[in-house]
Amino acid sequence: MPPSNHRPAVGNQSRRRRLFTDSRAAALAVLSRIGSGAVTLDQVLDQMAPQTSGLSTRDRALFNQLVYGVLRWRLRLDAVIETFADRPVKKLSPLVLNILRLGLLQILFMDRIPPSAAVNTAVNLARSHRAGKAAGFVNALLRNVLRAPGRFVLPDSASSPVDHMALDKSFPHWLVSRWIDRYGVAQTAALCDVMNSVPPLTLRCNFLKNNLVQLIGALDAQAADLQPLDALPGALNLTGPRCPIHEMQAFKDGRFAVQDGAAQLVSLFLSPQPDETILDACAGLGGKTTHIAGMMQNRGCVVALDNAGSKLTRLQDEAHRQGISIIRTSPADLHQPLSMAPHSSFDRVLLDAPCTGLGVLRRNPDAKWSFQKKDIDRYAARQLRFLENLAPWVKPGGVLVFSVCSMEPEENEGVIKRFLKNHPNFVINHAQAIEEKSVHPFINQDGFLRIIPHHHQMDGFFAARLSRC
């Protein structure tokens, strides 16, 4: 990574380990790493956390705005660059392209930054990477955008609705086309707008340690605003944190977890009960696992599986922070039939399956550009395989919940229909006597839990609740 406003590395660390003190240089480094396509935004942010630890609170906020903003608006930014450049975007070096994207984002979408500052900092970024000739090109293009903003024109919305919306909202053409076919133009525009918005910071109260009133009292001085979610017990949106979440004493004490409302609804849909034995088959970092254990009042047993040992280690740390002792972790590969103790079975099984993540694009905007239409069928096949391998471990009379953070039919009811066709001993559970009434408004006539971002102001999720006969 070329040097730019860095503090010198210590000891034997490589040049790439230098600390960033400038938000734009840090954002450029993150975008350059993501551009390789081999890693996700979350992975890059985790890997580079030590290097960005030197950013001030204000610079970190700008850093986040720049990274997420470029990824949200990349297609629109590239279209503007294509309009003003003397060469195709594909002919530009990744470094220069990302510098232009950062500059344009500030000019077009960030009112608080003077255009001149956006241009000058972009030029300085190019120079700091020893790209003298590129600096002149960057300067000329950005200043031409400022001189003639009307030169970029969107396709006509009447004759080319998909092309117009794809560029206007900055979403892949294939995805916009799918959504327009399913939701119509107006609803797709509303969905895109929500997906381009900054998601709320939603907290889940840990009832093992406090109630919601006590939690609000503990957090009141550390946030600009706290708003309980009427639709969800123990959930609240936090606005304007006055320090990083992990530095809050209430967080250190395990009194809450950060979790979107839609993810909380999935655990409520599972409806775990104290003293049951429950399997969380794709536990990840344990957001739903710890929620389940809390709903069980820390009584019974939750077995958490994942194919990444590092995630299970972090899950154990999270369970300890929240004061939970009933979770047992075990590595597992759901591509293969599970190997567990003979006669093992579970009252409830949750499969929060790997998916395209097209329902959480507001949190993971890089997924807009990393997934293609063909990936939907590939993920759906994997989800079905995972369900097949989990079915034998559900007790007769037990419950199997399948969930994905995707709204695409192939990954939703398409998977369930194929599974039920091969497993007549499972049926959709239409019971309206689920103890947690909060889920009822989100269950459709087919018995599925379906959460649509622009309708519910939460992440996009789908879940099916099956009973074994």
Strand partners, 464: 402, 448
DSSP result, 160-213:
-HHHHHHHHHT--HHHHHHHHHHH-HHHHHHHHHHHTSPPPEEEEE-TTT--HH
Q: Which of 205, 282, 355, 405 is catalytic?
A: 405
Helix (H, G, I), strand (E, B) or coil at 334: coil
Provide CB contacts within 8 A for 273, sequence distance 6+: 296, 300, 347, 435
Contact between 137 and 96 (Cβ < 8 Å): yes
- From residue 371, alpha-carbon distances to 32, 174, 355, 381, 402 in Å are 18, 10, 10, 16, 22
405 is catalytic: yes
Rounding to the nearest 10 degrees, give the CA dihedral for residues 159, 163, 168, 171.
150
Judged on CB neighbours under 10 Å (0-12, 13-18, 19+), 82 is: middle
**Euclidean distance between CA atoms 381 and 174, whole angstroms:** 20
**Euclidean distance between CA atoms 161 and 174, whole angstroms:** 12
Provide CB contacts within 8 A for 97, sequence distance 6+: 78, 81, 89
Q: Which residues are designated catalytic?
A: 405
